[in-house]
Amino acid sequence: MDRVTTLDRPARERPIAVFDSGVGGLTVLHELLVSLPNEDFLYFGDTARFPYGEKTQSELRTFAVEIADHLVAAGAKLLVVACGSASAAALPALEQHLADTDVDVVGVIVPAAQLAVEATANGRVGVLATPATIASGAFAEAIAASDRHVRVTSVPCPDLAPLIQSGIPLDEDAVDIVRRYTAELRAAEVDTAILGCTHYPLFAPILQRMLGRSVRLVTSGQGIIRTVERALGARDLLSAREGEGDYHFHCTGDVASFRTLGTRFLQMPLGTVEHVTLTPTPGRIAA
């Protein structure tokens, strides 16, 4: 995607940017591509600094601002923070950072929380997410804001995203890890579980087996669609194109690895993947 050409387009025809710590956010991009087929998309995977789940809140805010500057310069009309850890740590900082632009930013925490509250029948919701996301309390706060009577059981899963990102086939050791993480949710008798990291949908079948088929799994991609449509509609930025849009990829790590693993996550051909190196902008980093 040529930067000058993109910036010269009418605002409605510029791309929606989606970013994540790695390839996990491609599960969110997949939902967006299906639901908004006329839009163009630019996906950014910060694979050189993966995983985000063990990073500090300050580091995550710094990373998010660097990525946002890159994507705004590339002509994005909307930023979707597909990463749960970055959404939890950096969304307010990003909103402040982009306040003097015409680019809105949306995260995956609140939409998924609202969807889970709508789905639960017994008022017991589980959250599986990275340690950074769980430590932030963002999901628990978002659920309480929607319905303070819902009981939340949160489980940090430090091994799950790296295991999925590695591309190693599912084996008995991986099953044991999933069994350990889901045990607390089974004990709490949740009827709805939020997969609070974009990598986790790839383990949805085994997670469903461990939790039971009566438990509703809520993913980040399911929740974000309505939020993106509302954000674009409020600024009259929905594409007027009748045909299919394009999608392109940037990553900070190895391009070949991104393409190989990314195809598995996106479930569509990836095409061109461009390696980029981020350059921090002095004085523009969130505190």
Domain assignment present for residue 284? The answer is no
SS3 4: helix
- pLDDT at residue 164, as a whole number: 85
Measuring CA to CA, how many Å separate 162 from each of 24, 78, 126?
Answer: 10, 28, 21
pLDDT tens sequence across 195-239: 999 889 989 999 999 999 999 999 988 889 999 999 999 999 999
Same-domain status, 70 and 136: no
Domain assignment present for residue 25? The answer is yes
Tell me the average pLDDT across 171-199.
94
Determine the structural domain holding residue 194 and report its residue range.
110-221
Same-domain status, 158 and 212: yes
Domain assignment present for residue 77? The answer is yes
CATH code of the domain covering residue 258: 3.40.50.1860
Tell me the average pLDDT across 236-252.
94
Active site residues: 83, 197
Same-domain status, 96 and 227: yes
Measuring CA to CA, how many Å separate 92 from each of 44, 105, 140?
Answer: 20, 9, 17
**Which of 221, 236, 267 lies at the terminal end of a domain, its last residue?**
221
- pLDDT at residue 279, as a whole number: 78
Domain assignment present for residue 280? The answer is no
**Which of 203, 221, 239 lies at the terminal end of a domain, its last residue?**
221
What is the pairing mode between strands 216-219 and 273-275? unpaired
- pLDDT at residue 64, as a whole number: 96
81 strand-pairing partners: 19, 107
**Under 8 Å CB-to-CB from 170, ≥6 apart: which residues?**
203, 206
Band of residue 6 on the pLDDT scale cut at 50, 70, 90: low
- pLDDT at residue 200, as a whole number: 92
pLDDT at 56 over 80: yes
Domain assignment present for residue 123? The answer is yes
What is the pairing mode between strands 16-20 and 41-45? parallel
Same-domain status, 165 and 127: yes
Same-domain status, 114 and 214: yes
Contact status, residue 142 vs residue 125, Cβ threshold 8 Å: no
Same-domain status, 130 and 266: no
pLDDT at 77 over 90: yes
Count of domains observed in the chain:
2
pLDDT at 284 over 70: no
Contact status, residue 117 vs residue 40, Cβ threshold 8 Å: no
pLDDT at 271 over 90: no
| DSSP state for residue 127 in the 8-state scheme | E
Contact status, residue 217 vs residue 239, Cβ threshold 8 Å: no
Cα separation, 90 vs 201, whole angstroms: 23
Same-domain status, 50 and 103: yes
